[in-house]
Amino acid sequence: MGVTVEQIARRLEAWAPPETAESYDNTGLQLGRPEGEVTGGLIALDLTPAVITEASRIGANLIITHHPLFFAPIKALTSESLIGSMALRLAELGIAHYAIHTNLDMVSGGVSFALADRLSLEKVRFLQERDPSAEGDACGLGAIGTLPGPMSGSAFLQFVASQLGLSSLRHVIAEDAVITSVAVCGGSGSTFLPTAIREGADAYVTADVKYHQFFDALDNDGHPAIAYLDVGHYESEVFTEDLLLAFLDSQFAATSWTRTSTTTSPVRSFVPR
């Protein structure tokens, strides 16, 4: 018999312990039988109907995502909702679903470290370190490091857009900014802006920044005290797919692992001509 869902889950959880996940989170096996044999796995940031179709087409009976299918409690599992219809379809197709969410945010080399690597940051460490996991490994949120060389504000914006494949981004940045130290947090990281400032970052790259939160990047004279970039939630975390693919390939080489070809974000940007 080949590898089981439970064996894969145990290896993932040794890397990113579930007890390090945020209290509001729902990581782990979302749907399926732990003892089920895995014939192939598909990796995606989000579970979508297109991802399920892709898994069925390529013969994968396990989908591993960063974002969980069941995030908030549900009272009914019917085809009347997107979540319900996806869960029913997974069950009908015999496809298991596993999510590795904020516990992967917390691990060294995790989500924010993947974003830092994409931005070529050096000497990367946690932006905010937390108490060690039960295994005694360091854990935390966000990451901070230095660019290979200083950049002007405009050059840094262009660099980030190019590295992340962006057609646009929202930002607060001083005209005369010189960027050397950069803090990042994949996903919704606006709460860590004060930490980025305290740690001496010249720029902070994250997502899901609300309008009034951009004012938090200004000093008492109304000038930017730090470059503050909102690059988009999906865009700041999509590299998690490659991160998981590399890990699973290294741990279960005999199993066929595929990164989704689907862009799972439902958001599109309109850029006028």
Domain 5-102 belongs to what architecture?
3-Layer(aba) Sandwich (3.40)
pLDDT of residue 211: 98
For the domain made up of 107-236, give the CATH fold: 3.40.1390
pLDDT of residue 134: 67
pLDDT of residue 63: 98
- CA dist., res. 153 & res. 63, Å (int): 40
Assess whether the region 5-102 and the region 107-236 belong to the same CATH fold.
yes
Q: Which SS3 state, helix, strand or coil, does residue 235 take?
A: helix
Report the predicted TM-score, pTM, of the whole model to 2 decimal places.
Answer: 0.94
Distance of CA 150 to the CA centre of its chain: 27
Q: Which SS3 state, helix, strand or coil, does residue 223 take?
A: coil
- CA dist., res. 223 & res. 122, Å (int): 28
pLDDT of residue 73: 86
End-to-end CA distance of the chain: 57
Flag residues of the chain having pLDDT under 50.
none
Angle of CA points 251, 235, 26, to nearest 5°: 60
Write out the two tokens for 24.
């509001």
Every domain of the chain and the residues it spans = 5-102, 107-236
C-alpha distances in Å from residue 250, one per residue of 6, 8, 246: 17, 12, 6
- What are 132-152's pLDDT values in tens digits? 776 678 899 999 999 999 999
Assign residue 109 a region: left if phi > 0, alpha if psi is -120 to 50, beta otherwise? left
Helix (H) or strand (E) holding 125: strand 122-130
